[in-house]
Amino acid sequence: MVSLLLAIIYLSFISLGLPDSLLGAGWPAMRPKLNVPVSYAGIISMLIALCTIISSLNSDRLTKKFGAGLVTAVSVGMTALAMLGFSFSRSFWILCVLALPYGLGAGSVDAALNNYVALHFSSKHMSWLHCMWGVGTIISPYIMGYALNGGLGWQSGYRIVSVMQIVLTVILFITLPLWKINKTQNTADEISEPKKALSLKEIFAIKGAKSVMITFFCYCAAEQTTMLWASSYLVNSGFSADAAAKFASMFFIGITLGRAASGFLTIKFTDTQMIRAGLVIMAAGIVSMILPLGNTASLVSLVLIGLGCAPIYPCIIHSTPTHFGADKSQAVIGVQMASAYAGTLAMPPIFGIIANKISVSLLPFYLLTILIIMAVMHETLVKTTSSHKIAPNVK
């Protein structure tokens, strides 16, 4: 039964990744139909991120009241209905309204699933699950491409994804009893779990909480900035626009393959060791971008940055119960998710201003600055929490 639950969680992570790359893939076809400027995609993206932050900050309260299984099922259902609404929309402002339930659903399911896996499963599963998120981000552009190439329109791309998520929502509701398996087996966690949700003031007062929040902010800032500006950087380096768009996917490939490999490596290495290794590989990729090594080196750099990113996110999440205890992990993970989306929301646009005012060639220096702050904050976290680490019950 535990294996069946794990399979369902894997499917949920694929579902979590499906909408994330759908807007970018469909926007070139959506924009002319909606009759809006290119930049308006950023408005939808920001609304989704803001609502994700709100729901992440409330995930502790919701999960303690309703349980991880029900929160996940309802949240996936919300994103499914939002995607279905997208598929029937003909107005940009309707898309903005639908972005609200989409963001609220995405934040709740992200925090609930991450905490559940961190508490009950080993680090290898966390890496493989986030690899499944990468699979979802790779699948959805192909779904949108199929809809557009077949003359079905961008709405059909969203409709196909919404149907997939509706099916998963039904499965999640049917299998809700499975989520109680680990709860009955891990009585220590259940006893130590606080009866009420922690306030933001209480979470910020936890030793190491600020360090892990800044670490997460920096990680997602680096990841999203690379995702958004890699193509522009390659064009500035001499690639054609078509080639740059294609080769920018090297970053996604690096992350997805890296997380698949990380699942095996975490069997031998600790979360802290994996995070440190990821930081070193990221640094190697960024430095190779700075050095005048030619266009091939630029492509290798993107792969290295992706490989470096691969273990950091899942291993930080998985180590949260170890650093802070099972009783505080849901609250801390919720704020971590909010910090992550704050980094996603703020830092890529800031680099956009730098690129516009100075040059996009400063991308590696911008990433290096973020990486240094991230490394310092992670080491501060390890040092601060080393005296009270707690090993969670995992499988």
Q: Which pLDDT does position 154 carry in this prediction? A: 83
The vertex-111 CA angle with 105 and 115, nearest 5°, equals 145
- pLDDT computed for residue 185 by the predictor: 46
Residue 182: alpha-carbon gap to chain centroid: 25
Looking at the fold, whether 85 and 126 belong to one and the same domain comes out as yes
Among 172, 63, 44, which residue's Cα sits nearest to residue 103? 44
d(C-alpha 283, C-alpha 173), whole Å = 43
% of the chain beyond a pLDDT of 70: 88
CA distance 198 to 63: 12
Q: What is the pLDDT of residue 181?
A: 64
Are 279 and 317 part of one and the same domain?
A: yes
Q: Is the dihedral of CA 43, 44, 47, 52 positive or negative?
A: negative
Q: pLDDT digit string (tens) for 273-301?
A: 999 999 999 999 999 998 877 777 888 88
DSSP string of 35-95, one letter each residue: T--GGGHHHHHHHHHHHHHHHHHTHHHHHHHH-HHHHHHHHHHHHHHHHHHHHH---HHHH
The answer to whether residue 192 is domain-embedded is: no
pLDDT tops 60 at residue 388:
no
Q: State both tokens at 141.
A: 């552009």
Please report whether residue 194 resides in a domain: no
* Averaged pLDDT of the chain: 81
* Same domain as 380, residue 313: yes
Find out whether 72 and 113 touch, Cβ atoms under 8 Å. Answer: yes
Question: Residue 135: inside a domain, yes or no?
Answer: yes
Which of 56-60, 224-228, 318-322, 368-372 is least confident? 56-60
Domain holding 151, by residue range, is: 2-178
Residues 86 and 121 reside in one and the same domain: yes
117 by Cβ neighbours in 10 Å (0-12 / 13-18 / 19+) ranks as buried
pLDDT digits (tens, 9 = 90+) for 54-105: 887 777 777 777 777 888 888 888 889 998 998 898 888 999 999 898 888 8
Mean pLDDT of all residues in 385-392: 61
Question: Do residues 307 and 281 touch, judged by C-beta distance below 8 A?
Answer: yes
pLDDT band at 334 (very low <50, low <70, confident <90, very high): confident
Confidence (pLDDT) at 39: 65
pLDDT in tens, 119-164: 777 777 777 777 887 778 777 777 877 887 788 888 888 898 899 8
Q: Are residues 36 and 70 in the same domain?
A: yes
Share of the chain above pLDDT 90, in %: 17
> Which of the four pLDDT bands, split at 50, 70 and 90, describes residue 188?
very low
- Reading the block at residue 273, the tokens are 């060791």
151 vs 265, more confident: 265
| Position 375 pLDDT exceeds 70 | yes
Residue 301 structure tokens: 């750099």
Class of residue 5 by CB neighbours under 10 A (exposed 0-12, middle 13-18, buried 19+): buried
Q: Taking residues 250-258, what's their average pLDDT?
A: 83
- Same domain for 239 and 154? no
158-176: pLDDT as tens digits:
898 899 889 988 988 888 8
- Confidence category of residue 389, pLDDT binned at 50, 70, 90: low
Question: Do residues 322 and 315 touch, judged by C-beta distance below 8 A?
Answer: no
Let me know whether 150 and 214 are in one domain.
Answer: no
**290 and 214 co-located in one domain:** yes
The neighbour count for residue 201, using CB atoms within 10 Å, is 7
pLDDT interval class at 350 (50, 70, 90): confident
The pLDDT confidence band at residue 192, using thresholds 50, 70 and 90, is very low
- CATH number of the domain that residue 8 is part of: 1.20.1250.20
Q: Is residue 41 part of a domain?
A: yes
Report the C-alpha gap between 376 and 358 in whole angstroms. Answer: 28
Q: Is the pLDDT of residue 194 over 70?
A: no
Nearest to 339 by CA among 389, 366, 373, 383: 373
Residue 100 contacts residue 285 (beta carbons within 8 Å): no
Both tokens of 262, joined, read 């990380």
Token output for 65: 């009241």
Same structural domain, 223 and 159: no
Q: How far apart are CA 319 and CA 339, in angstroms?
A: 17
